[in-house]
Chains A and B, each alone.
Chain A
Amino acid sequence: QVQLQESGPGLVKPSETLSLTCTVSGASITSYYWNWIRQPAGKGLEWIGRLYAGGATNYNPSLTDRVTMSLDTSKSQFSLKLNSVTAADTAVYYCALGMAVLDPWGQGTLVTVSS
């Protein structure tokens, strides 16, 4: 059974870089597509981007200038970096497995952007 768990700071200052990690168990991180999705409080879901083993990435066109994703195969983890954050980046961030469908998802982690 594949399980994903997000981790990282819950508070980030404006203009700084948001960094999150997703730890994968039950599947090889060198296979499949790995995604990040976010959801501001009371709002809908927004796909941020994905990466595939080997380094190929696809990013949401609205975020591509600020997003970087990477894999750490030794730790079975993949990560998200979002730079120059503002209050609009405050959201619950989820990681999820999938190429054409997102399943399963991690439980999510709340990141607040505030000074």
Chain B
Amino acid sequence: QSALTQPASVSGSPGQSITISCTGTSSDVGSYNLVSWYQQYPGKAPKLIIYETSKRPSGVSNRFSGSKSRNTASLTVSGLQAEDEADYYCCSYARSSPFVFGTGTKVTVL
């Protein structure tokens, strides 16, 4: 099972919106609404910010939103803030494995 494909880096200015893509196949992202997204600060454990493709856990800012089209899931961060600078990973259920992670995206706030 190959890792899902994410852009290595995405950047934006404060207040702008950015979108991170997560491309899989019809065996994972395309077949299940079980995509989750994790935010990770340096030296810290990942934190869940989106689950079941578009749902937000309690306490997560509504500036984070998720969506999916065919084999590609997306995470949008609106109203970008300095505190959003972190690494972001998507993850999908797959036929061959319960969890397949994306390659990770470093978000830089300019």
Query: Within the assembled complex, what's the spacing in Å between the Cα atoms of A110 and B93?
Result: 26
A105 touches B47 (CB 8 A): yes
Residues of B at the A interface (CB closer than 8 Å) are 1, 3, 34, 36, 38, 44-48, 51-52, 57, 89, 91, 93, 96-104
The number of inter-chain residue pairs (CB within 8 angstroms) is: 61
Contact A105-B101, Cβ < 8 Å, known A44-B89, A100-B34, A100-B93: no
Query: Within the assembled complex, what's the spacing in Å between the Cα atoms of A60 and B96?
Result: 9
A103 touches B57 (CB 8 A): yes
Q: Give the size of the chain A interface in residues (CB under 8 angstroms).
A: 21
Question: What residues of B have a CB within 8 angstroms of the CB of A103 in the complex?
Answer: 48, 51, 57
Q: Which of A83-107 contact B (CB under 8 A)?
A: 94, 99-107
Query: Within the assembled complex, what's the spacing in Å between the Cα atoms of A112 and B44?
Result: 18
